[in-house]
Amino acid sequence: MGWDPETNTVTASEEVWDSYLKKYPTAKRYRKKGLPHYNILGIIFNNTTATGEMSYASTQLPPSANDERQQERHFVGTGTHVDIGTEFDREYEDERVEEITGVRRRAVTARLDAPRPKEKKKQRSSIIL
């Protein structure tokens, strides 16, 4: 099986499709139609896919704070979405995301490892009767 990035469809020989559809008959609609929002879904879910890269067995010691921060820096912003053969212009991505979701993407300005400001405690006004 292969992938056609122009039509966002899976490519395969007739024999492969027939064999696959016997096992998964509901996949028939993807044979010709494709996935119209594949690139947009990649943008949305790219950084939310679990890969198991930062998992630990219960028998292992947890990582130190420094090791954990290093791992986070390495993995934050990486994902598993596959974008084969198409160059997606950043401006076009933002327009498409806004068009489909109705939400404009905000730029991230804070560093992930920067200290967070302390939250102010809310003062309760007590009523004395």
Task: Please indicate, yes or no, whether residues 25 and 3 belong to a single structural domain of this protein.
Answer: yes
pLDDT at 31: 85
Residue 97 within a domain: no
**Which H or E run contains 4?**
strand 2-4
Residues 6+ apart with CB under 8 A from 117: none
Per-residue pLDDT of the chain (129 residues; tens, 9 = 90+): 888 888 888 888 999 999 999 999 998 888 888 888 888 888 887 777 666 777 778 888 888 888 888 877 776 656 555 555 444 444 445 555 555 555 555 555 555 566 666 766 666 665 665
Predicted pLDDT at 22: 93
Residues 30 and 42 in one domain: no
In a domain, 11, yes or no: yes
Amino acid identity for residue 33 in this structure: K
Count of domains for the chain: 2
Domain assignment present for 100:
no
In a domain, 30, yes or no: yes
Place of tokens 């804070």: 110
- The answer to whether residue 111 sits within a structural domain is no
Residue 82's nearest CA partner among 40, 42, 129 is 42
What token pair was written down for 48? 């939310």
Task: Tell me: do 45 and 7 sit in the same domain.
Answer: no
Burial 70-95 (b: 16+ CB within 10 A, else e): eeeeeeeeeeeeeeeeeeeeeeeeee
Q: Does residue 96 belong to any structural domain of this protein?
A: no
106 in a domain, yes or no? no
Distance CA 103, CA 87 (A): 23
Range of the domain at 75: 37-52+65-86
